[in-house]
Amino acid sequence: MKRSSLGFAGVASALALTLTVAGCSGSSPGSGASSGKASITFWGWAPGYEDAAKAFNASHPNIEVTYQAVQPGAKGGYQKMLNAVKAGNAPCLAQIGYETMPSFAAQGALQDVAKDAGSAKLDYQNAAWNAVTLGSAVYGAPVDTGPMALFYNKRLFDSLGLKPPTTWAEYRAAGEKIHASDPMRFISSPYQDYDYAGLAWQAGADWFSVDNDTWKVSMASAANKKVADYWQGLADDGLISDAPMYDQAWYTGLGNGTIATVVGAVWQAGVIKGGAKAGAGQWAVAPMPQWQKGDEKVGNAGGSATAVLKGCKNTAAAWEFAHWLGTDKAAFGTLIEKASLYPAANDLLYLPQLKADPYFGGQEIYGVFATAAPNVDPDWTWGPLMTSTVADLNDGLGKAWTSKGTIAEALSHAQDSTLTEMRKQGLAVAP
């Protein structure tokens, strides 16, 4: 089977929906100003983006970028963007998560800027570049990625004579010892949506692929069942906390040592630091445990692009800013400080802002992620309807983690629901 990559490389025809957005006409917020100075509008929500736009304008007198904050994508931002494209008044640029790029492509909402991008592929990590390309088309510039690693409570591990687990078998053994030391201690907490997807990603347990322009959904595959059964076993044996991620009980557990690890993306460093201040000095970061000893496979959770929307009248100016945003050292340093973003550009993996962190005992944790980033498997494909897919998955996972179902059943349910919706939308799917 022909496998497509992280974003949607190689799935051109399969993304054709019955209600494809028509090419837009009329004036656009991204059109050039009458004075001859290019005027570009950019919609997004990440902290630091407004500062970046101001810095760009100060150093690029021939282009003016107007940044407009919108609600985060899943909270209304994406729908606002799609509505604007349909109305013919969309901005040139928009912040879009990698997992949502196929949905925008499916609705004809993205514009090809390959002629402006040139050889920019060499500037980015392979997985990130694949997330913004479709065949020979380029639909935006990568900004950040979410390579995963193991955040662990080093003080707790040291007190029990434990070392960071290098395999998932060792991870389970550590969980058993931690729980045996105190029944209120757990190795981890429940994972959902894209956090869980990263666990499947690392194991090569694909969710979507395309063969001869036909979608295949494989969330209930044997490879996925292997991952599901592993985590189900931990839950069934009482090794997983019942505190949902990002709930106050979760932050409390991270701070007091009752939740010992977080298998998560690089941006979790900011989440843990901000929400579990009581854990300062206790935590450290190690490489993600492997299914086979000696492997170096890594999952990814998160990351976004500066996408060019359909109808942009000045794609050259739009690309110039989009590329600059993800590759300029000073601008990205601010994004690290304000939004804890982790660069997709190869040359930015060792920026001074990615330095030793007192919260993590002075460890230079970003070195772990810099090593991990190139090991993210680029052959991962997001589906064309991820919003509904994830909603269905989370419904099942919520039941599974509370012993009202299983993770395998959650994946099977999400697969069935996704296939039904894909057929309803007119997408070609494998039987």
DSSP SS3 for 379:
coil
Q: Which of 142, 201, 135, 133 is nearest to 379 (CA)?
A: 201
DSSP SS3 for 283:
strand
pLDDT of residue 206: 97
What is the tens place of the pLDDT at every residue in 128-143?
Answer: 999 999 889 999 999 9
pLDDT of residue 28: 46
Reported as type and span, the H/E element at residue 332 is helix 329-339
Q: At what angle do helices 407-425 and 386-401 cross, to 10 degrees?
A: 160
Going 263 to 265 to 267 to 269, the CA torsion angle's sign is: positive
Asked whether the beta carbons of 365 and 391 are under 8 A apart, the reply is no
Q: What is the mean pLDDT of the chain?
A: 92
pLDDT of residue 35: 52
What is the tens place of the pLDDT at every residue in 190-235?
Answer: 999 999 999 999 999 999 998 888 999 999 999 999 999 999 999 9
What is the tens place of the pLDDT at every residue in 416-430?
Answer: 999 999 999 999 999
pLDDT of residue 8: 56
The pTM assigned to this predicted structure is 0.89
Complete domains list, the chain, with CATH: 13-144+302-356 (3.40.190.10), 147-299+380-425 (3.40.190.10)
How many helices (H) and strands (E) in the chain?
16, 11
What is the tens place of the pLDDT at every residue in 387-404?
Answer: 899 999 999 999 999 999
DSSP line for 197-221: HHHHHHTT--SEEEETTEEEE-TTS
Would you say residue 346 has pLDDT above 70? yes
Would you say residue 379 has pLDDT above 90? no
pLDDT grade for 36, boundaries at 50, 70 and 90: confident
